[in-house]
Structures are given as structure tokens and as C-alpha cells.
């Protein structure tokens, strides 16, 4: 296409950039961001994204509540986060400006759709005057007021589309302009539009026209002095694709069930931000992946547990409020010792909380949120791509140890994306499934000496008929038993079985920094990127700092206690009020300190370096 030929006036090389598209939730900002991301991935930059959208499907147009944003950080170096502050903000209306301006760095580029700055829209967000006319704004940022709506209309003059439809394509003008500004190729977007609107030629035509108009505008107008390029990042050689955490979770579940050779069944009830896993898995029926959209959260885990009893791989996906409802069933799975994978894509709580925002506050719920002593393994993912391996591990542990396992992800990594090195399917470990067949010597709770797992004897196997129950049962026979000594023994066996998994997981070691030092920054889950970036900065400024990241939250790696003692101080940044910190302090009697910012957003690198520096003083 002619539009991607190099017609740039003056190209300035940059190392990295962070930009955010912001507009009304009906403005197509997620789509614009997604397409810009694809183009950036093709260029070979390292990247990290942060979609940020409201819980309301369509909040009132032009309101602050309705602002939807998509942030992307891309670089010629390896990067770990979607960026703390913005180099560029694209604001499609006054609400988007008001909600996002605070994140734009002084001197940063502000691109606004001036047509949306009319009296009605200004009033909706309590601007008494047009902020674009404010001299302070003009001097603080590089402001580019562009008549995006009008230019879109002009590009489509004579089109058969209604005014409303015409206006809807203005996000593609912004996309085209940004593609020009950062020298991104548009082929993939054009291909994508061709596919999406193949049956609607007039809409396709309009979208292509507007996209190109945006690109050409950058090229021909005198507004922009230069455009920018960011070289390919030097990342590990391999084959890559861009992936979100939910997509990686889906692939991990399919790969693990294939490697185990049993039929997977996902029981799920729609809930943000986990629903995409259900949508995606529903597309893989050719792999024998069975998805069951149940009538509620409880039924969803019930069908999954029934599937496991019958010899399938039971999986349920949800978020915190769903975990609340599932807890009685999780305990039944613990008591009956059946494999089950519970994927909790955490969001802001308590109660309905912040459905579309991220948080790490379900850790203690996963750990303890049930009646009785009910130990359960917990595996967490640290980046979008890491969801693949982490959920694969959850499946492996569930089957090998005959236990339900929590897989913790969160809204940030579930919807955020990064380039992901595609694993070699042949090198994935096999997951051995041992269905009991022999009648001789069978007892439903006769355990494997090493793993303490009970036998998996599935209905349909002659001679192994037995009944599972939530009532306490005798240590070996699995028959109902209320004897006090037997209960004490069973409680301890259940604990021991989970504790033993520490022998089957890797030791913890530093990600950055040395084996000993003044400060260890210990993290888990989606804080990985911010902690790594902060640690690199701290090391570069001469501090003896290291960071380590926990994937296995229960049981902890065997060496964790000794490892923590190699550092004078321990900082645990979390997007909760200190849940991991509580577990670490309780188990290892270490005086670790928390950094707790619970704002529904990923932690900023800056917040971590500040907290670390104050501890290092």
C-alpha cells in the first residue's frame, strides 16, 4: 500500500515511548490501541500494554465515567511495564483530557480532537472554559489541536453512510495519524479491516479512507515537525506473537489437557475480567475441549468437579466474587481429593468492587477462604505470557497430587499484552495420568507413598465402585468416620500432602541482583514488571538490591526462609493491604515491609524505587 511508503519529512530515533489513546467508551479506543499494538509487535519492539476501560458498557457519552483508555509502552530495549508516565496522550474529548492529563509528562505531546471540545462536552465534565485555550496548558505540554471529527467527515464526503456512522470511524483517523507519527506499518490493520468488514463494502471503504486520511494528514500537514522511529528491540531470538494473559491462560489449559490426554471441561459463569477465557475456550471443540456455561458460579464449579470425578480435567474460571460462591465446592474438592483447577482473575474488591480494574487482593481468600483446615496449592502468573506456564503448572500439580489448585491472574495481566516467545509444543512436559484399574488391594484413600495422592478410580471401571463424600472419612478406606483420632489424622494428612509439593517446585532465586544484599524486593503476580524495572534502576544507582518473584504461593519454595535471611531488609510491594507480607511474616518471622497501593492500577516503578530508597537510608 502506498500509505506505508516512507514519506516522512524528518525521522527522529527514540529509544522508547509510552502513549495512551483515550476517548469515550463508544469511541473504539480499545480497538485503536489493539491495532497500534499489532503494528508495533510487527516492527519488533518490545512492548507492554494496559487497557483501562469502565465497568459500564456505555456510560453516558462524554462523561468522566465513560472514559476508556489504552496505553502502550514500546521500546528498542527490553521493558517490563506499560509505563509510569505518558509521552503522548491522544484525547478524543474533554472527559478523556480531564481523566488522563495528570499522567502526561511535562513537555509531553497532547493530541486532541478539537471538534469534541464544544460547550456541551465541556459542561459535562465541569470545564468552565475551554482548557485548550489555557495558556498554562499550552506552555506545559506540546498541544496539537486537530479537527479529527471534521477531517473524518471531509474524508468521507459523498459517502452513503449516516453522519453517526461517519463519526464512528474517527478513531481510525487517530490510529492512522499515530501510525505515521511512530512510523508503524498499516498492512495488518488494513488486512484486519478487510476481514472484519468483508460483507459490508461501504463501511470497509469508509474505514480504509479514514485510516489513510489520518496517515496522510501527518505526512502533509505542517503541524508535526518530525516523526519518530524506535528500532527493533534486541530480545531473545525466537518466534514471537503478541499475547494477553487471558489468551495465554487459554493456550496453557489446552496444552496441559492435551499433554495429560484427558478430556477437559470448563465450567464457568460469565464474570469480568475472566469471561474471555470462556469465550476463547468455547472455540476449541475440535480439541475435545468442553465448555459449560452454567447457571451460576456454584454450578460452574460443580460441573467441573463432576467432570474430574468422571475422569476429565475439571476447570473453572472466575474472579473474586465468584470465588466467594465457589468456596463450599472447593472444600468438597479438597475433602474428596479430586483434581480441579480454579482460575481466579482477580479484580478490585470487596464485593462488586472495581470489575474492570486490577488488584491482588484474593490471595488470602485463595489461601484460607473456606471452613475448616483446607490446604490448597496456589500458583500465580507474573506477566501476560507467563500465564501459559503458570496455568500449565496448576494442571500438573492438580493431577499429580489429586487436589484442587488455585491459579491466580489479575485484570492487568489478563487484558494487558506483551510479545511472547512461542514455546515448542514438543518440549512441553507430559502430565502423567494414572487411572486406577486393578481391583486387587483397592481402597479409595490408599495413598501413593511419595505424593500422598489417593488413587483416581473413575466410574466405568469394574470392581472399583466407591462413594466420595464431604463427610470425614476413614484414613484408608474412605468410609464415613467420625472418630476424633481419625479426623486429627486426616487433617494432618491433607496438610502434609500439600506441604510436600515444596519438593516438586523450583527454588527461589534473584531475578536481578545478587544472592545477598541490603534489600530484597519480593513480589508475586502482576507486580513483576514494575518490580524488575525498579530493581534495575536501583542497582544502576549503586544500591545492593535484588528482586525475587514468587510463582508458587502455597506451598512456598523450600529455600524461601533461608533465602530471605540473605538480605538485610525485605520489601514486599503488593496491590493489596499486605496479604503476602502477612504470610511471609507469619511463616518466616522476617520483619518484611509492605508497599501497598490499592488504586485499581498496576504499581508504578517510581513508587517502588521511592519505597526502596527510604528503606535503604
220-239: which residues touch other proteins (CB under 8 A)?
232, 235-239
Distance CA 395, CA 314 (A): 10
The CA radius of gyration of the chain, in Å to the nearest whole number, is 27
Q: How far is the CB of 52 from other proteins (least distance, A)?
A: 23
Q: Residue 20's closest CA among 113, 63, 82?
A: 82
CA angle at residue 31 from 26 to 34, to 5 degrees?
Answer: 150
Nearer of residues 257 and 581 to other proteins, judged by Cβ: 257
Name which of 198 and 239 has its Cβ closer to other proteins: 239
* Beta bridge pairs of residue 346: 410
Distance, CA of 116 to CA of 123 (rounded, Å): 12
Residue 464 or 538: the one with the smaller Cβ distance to other proteins is: 464
Which residue, 320, 311, 342, is CA-closest to 329? 342
- Residue listed under C-alpha cell 494528514: 217
Please give the residues from 189 up to 218 whose contact with other proteins meets the rule CB under 8 A: none
C-alpha span between 545 and 23 (Å, rounded): 40
Interface segment toward other proteins; rule CB under 8 A; list 257-265, 403-411, 515-523, 607-615: 257-265
Site string for other proteins, 284-303 (x = CB under 8 A): xxxxx-x-x-xxx-xxxxxx
Contact with other proteins (CB under 8 A) among 146, 181, 265, 582 = 265
Shortest CB 555 distance to other proteins, Å: 26
User: Considering beta carbons, is residue 79 or 95 the nearer one to other proteins?
Assistant: 79
We find the least distance from the C-beta atom of residue 262 to other proteins, in angstroms, to be 9
**Per CB under 8 A, does 173 bind other proteins?**
no
Nearer to other proteins, 255 or 342 (CB): 255
How far apart are the C-alpha atoms of 13 and 182, rounded to whole Å? 10
- What is the size of the binding site for other proteins (CB under 8 A)? 71
Helix (H, G, I), strand (E, B) or coil at 180: helix
Supply the minimum distance, in Å, between the C-beta of residue 382 and other proteins: 20
Look-up: residue for cell 521493558? 79
Pairing of strands 16-24, 67-75: antiparallel
Q: Are strands 378-380 and 552-554 parallel, antiparallel or unpaired?
A: antiparallel
- In this complex, which beta carbon is closest to other proteins, that of residue 117 or of residue 269? 269
Q: Which is nearer to other proteins, 181 or 294 (CB)?
A: 294
- Find the binding residues for other proteins in span 450-509 (CB under 8 A): 458-471, 479-480
Residue 357 is classified by DSSP as: S
Site for other proteins in 42-101 (CB under 8 A): 42, 44
SS3 at position 142: strand
The answer to whether the beta carbons of residues 173 and 146 sit under 8 Å apart is: no
CA-to-CA distance for 80 and 181, rounded, in angstroms? 24
Nearer to other proteins by C-beta: 144 or 287?
A: 287
Q: Where in 415-434 is the site for other proteins (CB under 8 A)?
A: 422-423, 425, 428
Grid cell listed for 512: 536481578
**Closest distance to other proteins from the beta carbon of 250 (Å):** 9
**Is residue 445 a contact point for other proteins (CB under 8 A)?**
no
**Min separation Cβ 79 and other proteins, Å:** 15
Comparing CB distances to other proteins, the nearer of 316 and 609 is 316
Minimal distance in Å, beta carbon 265 to other proteins? 6
Q: Which of 25, 32, 38, 382 binds other proteins (CB under 8 A)?
A: 38
Can you tell me the distance from the alpha carbon of 51 to that of 33, in angstroms, rounded to the nearest whole number? 8
- Enter the C-alpha cell of residue 146: 486537530
Q: How far is the CB of 44 from other proteins (least distance, A)?
A: 6
The least CB distance from residue 164 to other proteins, in Å, is 31
CA distance 587 to 581: 10
The residue among 569, 542, 527 whose CA lies nearest residue 409 is 527
User: Quick one: which of 96, 305, 343, 611 contacts other proteins (CB under 8 A)?
Assistant: 305
Q: Give the integer Cα–Cα distance in Å for 361 and 598.
A: 9
**How open is the CA angle 14-526-74, to the nearest 5 degrees?**
15
Nearest Cα neighbor of 149 from 117, 101, 119, 180 is: 117
Other C-beta atoms lying within 10 Å of the C-beta of residue 440:
5
Neighbours of 200 (CB within 10 A): 11
Which residues, numbered 314-353, are part of the site for other proteins (CB under 8 A)? 314, 328-329, 332, 336
Q: Does 255 participate in binding other proteins (rule CB under 8 A)?
A: yes
Which is closer to other proteins, CB of 445 or CB of 552?
445
Smallest separation, CB 244 to other proteins (Å): 11
Q: How far is the CB of 577 from other proteins (least distance, A)?
A: 31
Q: How far is the CB of 465 from other proteins (least distance, A)?
A: 5
- CB-wise, 481 or 500, nearer to other proteins? 481
Calculate the dihedral angle through the C-alpha atoms of 166, 170, 176, 182, rounding to the nearest 10 degrees: 180
Task: Output the smallest distance, CB 279 to other proteins, in A.
Answer: 15
Near other proteins by CB under 8 A: residue from 7, 188, 279, 569: 188
CA distance 340 to 312: 10
Residue 371 lies near other proteins (rule: CB under 8 A): no
Using CB under 8 A as the binding rule, whether residue 258 contacts other proteins is answered as yes
Stretch that binds other proteins, among 34-42, 84-92, 590-598, 606-614 (CB under 8 A): 34-42
Amino acid at each position: 500500500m502506498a500509505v506505508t511508503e516512507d514519506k516522512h519529512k524528518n525521522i527522529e530515533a527514540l529509544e522508547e515511548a509510552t502513549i495512551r489513546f483515550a476517548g469515550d467508551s463508544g469511541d473504539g479506543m480499545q480497538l485503536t490501541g489493539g491495532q497500534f499494538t499489532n503494528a508495533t509487535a510487527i516492527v519488533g519492539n518490545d512492548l507492554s500494554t494496559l487497557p483501562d476501560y469502565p465497568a459500564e458498557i456505555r456510560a453516558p457519552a462524554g462523561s468522566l465515567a465513560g472514559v476508556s483508555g489504552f496505553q502502550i509502552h514500546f521500546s528498542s530495549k527490553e521493558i517490563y511495564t506499560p509505563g509510569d508516565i505518558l509521552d503522548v496522550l491522544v484525547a478524543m474529548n474533554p472527559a478523556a483530557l480531564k481523566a488522563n492529563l495528570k499522567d502526561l509528562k511535562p513537555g509531553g505531546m497532547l493530541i486532541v480532537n478539537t471538534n469534541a471540545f464544544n460547550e456541551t462536552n465541556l459542561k459535562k465534565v465541569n470545564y468552565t472554559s475551554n482548557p485548550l485555550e489555557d495558556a498554562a496548558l499550552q506552555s506545559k505540554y506540546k498541544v496539537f489541536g486537530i479537527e479529527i471529527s471534521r477531517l473524518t467527515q471531509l474524508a468521507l464526503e459523498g459517502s452513503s453512510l449516516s453522519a453517526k456512522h461517519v463519526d464512528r470511524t474517527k478513531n481510525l483517523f487517530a490510529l492512522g495519524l499515530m501510525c505515521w507519527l511512530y512510523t508503524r506499518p498499516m498492512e495488518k490493520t488494513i488486512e484486519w479491516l478487510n476481514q472484519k468488514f468483508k460483507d459490508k463494502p461501504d463501511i470497509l471503504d469508509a474505514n480504509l479512507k479514514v485510516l489513510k486520511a489520518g496517515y496522510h494528514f501527518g505526512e502533509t500537514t505542517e503541524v508535526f515537525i518530525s516523526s519518530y522511529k524506535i528500532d527493533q528491540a534486541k530480545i531473545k531470538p525466537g518466534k514471537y506473537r503478541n499475547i494477553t494473559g487471558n489468551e495465554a491462560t487459554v493456550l496453557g489449559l489446552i496444552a496441559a489437557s492435551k499433554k495429560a490426554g484427558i478430556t477437559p471441561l470448563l465450567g464457568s459463569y460469565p464474570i469480568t475480567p475472566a469471561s474471555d477465557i470462556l469465550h476463547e475456550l468455547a472455540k476449541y471443540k475440535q480439541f475435545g475441549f468442553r465448555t459449560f456455561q452454567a447457571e451460576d458460579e456454584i454450578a460452574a464449579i460443580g460441573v467441573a468437579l463432576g467432570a474430574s470425578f468422571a475422569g476429565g480435567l475439571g476447570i473453572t474460571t472466575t474472579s473474586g466474587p465468584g470465588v466467594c460462591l465457589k468456596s463450599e465446592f472447593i472444600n468438597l474438592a479438597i475433602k474428596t481429593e479430586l483434581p480441579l483447577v480454579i482460575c481466579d482473575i482477580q479484580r478490585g474488591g470487596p464485593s462488586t468492587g472495581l470489575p474492570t480494574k486490577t488488584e491482588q487482593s484474593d490471595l488470602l481468600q485463595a489461601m484460607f477462604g473456606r471452613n475448616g483446615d483446607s490446604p490448597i496449592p496456589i500458583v500465580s502468573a507474573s506477566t501476560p505470557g507467563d500465564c501459559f506456564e503458570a496455568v500449565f503448572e496448576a494442571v500438573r500439580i492438580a493431577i499429580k497430587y489429586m487436589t484442587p489448585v488455585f491459579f491466580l491472574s489479575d485484570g492487568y495481566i489478563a487484558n494487558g499484552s506483551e510479545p511472547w516467545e512461542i514455546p515448542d509444543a514438543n518440549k512441553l512436559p507430559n502430565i502423567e495420568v494414572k487411572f486406577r484399574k486393578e481391583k486387587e488391594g483397592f481402597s479409595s484413600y490408599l495413598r501413593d507413598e511419595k505424593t500422598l495422592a489417593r488413587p483416581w478410580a473413575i466410574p466405568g471401571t469394574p470392581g472399583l465402585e466407591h462413594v466420595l463424600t464431604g463427610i470425614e472419612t476413614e484414613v484408608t478406606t474412605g468410609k464415613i468416620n467420625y472418630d476424633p483420632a481419625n479426623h486429627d489424622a486426616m487433617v494432618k494428612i491433607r496438610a502434609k500432602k500439600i506441604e510436600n509439593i515444596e519438593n516438586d517446585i523450583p527454588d527461589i532465586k534473584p531475578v536481578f541482583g545478587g544472592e545477598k544484599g541490603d534489600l530484597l524486593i519480593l513480589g508475586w503476580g502482576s507486580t513483576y514488571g514494575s518490580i524488575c524495572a525498579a530493581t534495575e534502576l536501583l542497582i544502576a544507582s549503586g544500591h545492593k538490591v535484588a528482586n525475587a518473584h514468587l510463582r508458587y504461593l502455597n506451598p512456598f519454595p523450600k529455600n524461601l526462609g533461608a533465602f530471605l535471611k540473605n538480605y538485610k531488609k525485605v520489601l514486599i510491594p503488593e496491590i493489596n493491604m499486605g496479604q503476602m507480607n502477612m504470610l511471609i511474616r507469619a511463616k518466616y518471622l522476617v520483619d518484611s515491609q509492605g508497599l501497598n497501593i490499592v488504586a485499581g492500577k498496576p504499581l508504578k516503578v517510581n513508587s517502588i524505587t521511592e519505597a526502596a530508597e527510604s528503606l535503604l537510608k
